[in-house]
Amino acid sequence: MRGYLDHLTVERGLSANTLSSYRRDLDRYLGTLAAVGVTDLAAVGAAQVEAHLARLRAGDDDHPPLAVSSAARAASAVRGLHRFALREGMAGADPSRDVRPPTPPRRLPRALPVDDVVRLLETAGAVTATGDQAPLALRDRALLEFLYGTGARISEAIGLAVDDLDTDDGAVVLRGKGGRTRLVPIGGYAVEALRAWLVRGRPPLVAAGRGTPAVFVNARGGALSRQGAWTILRRAAERAGLPVDGAAAVSPHTLRHSYATHLLDGGADVRVVQELLGHASVTTTQVYTLVTVERLREVYATAHPRARG
């Protein structure tokens, strides 16, 4: 298992969060095998793999039933381990080859209407009684404008260094999954907000800290955390009257979904959106085309006099 996880780290470049999930999934799998006396992957049969995956969905005394998406991820980890063992000569066969993981339900990403996005962004940078913006208000506005203006993942935003930004040319280098980098244009509103933050807001905070190269910093001058970014968005969403709890809650990924959907609604080619989002496969990006089709159906149903029988 350690060899497989090292392979995923070095050769596949999986994120720390994904590796942590895979490690938990495989620890549980090996525990299941050990409970029935199997300590060698070469001795595992298809029935044992199927029984383990069925147990994940059913749950047991120590674990609640896994959701379909989590069970699918666990199945992927198990199958990957067995493929790795076969390739490395640790086993003579892959018992998971014909085992089909559960298929997660297809969930369309939820995009905010443009008016909601504008309201969210405008509430992010509160103005003081004197008409000025405090450093943290400048940061909040710059962060949310950046997320919507570039389609960046939250991990890409909080990992952004000052040297990655070029506000003169309106471009940024984003470092995405698997160590892949991409050059993405930044819209005028985001550039304006970033300049205000970098010139008037960030310097006093960084001077009080340890001189981090991160673009977005916290009140102590250190790099902003993922949780800190979530709090900024949640606070702005509450002020804008947008949902912050439940299935419809606004999240950093909501801004990424909105970015992609609004580009496609505006006529952008799906291949261009793929490059902007940093998707390795256009198949991932094509889910947004389904969202725009749903929007077209809504417009047709409400606007055409013969849309409803």
Encode pLDDT of 283-295 as tens digits: 767 777 666 666 6
Please provide the average confidence, as pLDDT, over all residues in the chain: 85
Encode pLDDT of 43-95 as tens digits: 898 889 988 888 888 887 778 888 877 888 888 899 999 999 999 998 888 99
Give the separation between CA 168 and CA 164, rounded to whole angstroms. 12
- pLDDT at residue 194 greater than cutoff 90: yes
Domain borders along the chain are 2-87, 114-301
User: Residues with catalytic annotation?
Assistant: 153, 177, 253, 256, 279, 288
Domain 114-301 indexed as CATH 1.10.443.10: yes
At 130, the pLDDT band (50, 70, 90 cuts) reads very low
Encode pLDDT of 153-191 as tens digits: 899 999 999 999 999 989 999 988 767 888 999 989 999
- pLDDT for 220: 92
| CA-wise closest residue to 224 among 212, 234, 235 | 212
Q: What is the CATH number of domain 2-87?
A: 1.10.150
Encode pLDDT of 242-280 as tens digits: 988 877 788 888 898 899 888 888 888 888 888 888 877
Q: Which two tokens stand for residue 181?
A: 């980098």
What does the DSSP assignment read for 73-105?
A: HHHHHHHHHHHHHHHTTS-SS-TTTTPPPPPPP
Bigger pLDDT: 127 vs 303: 303
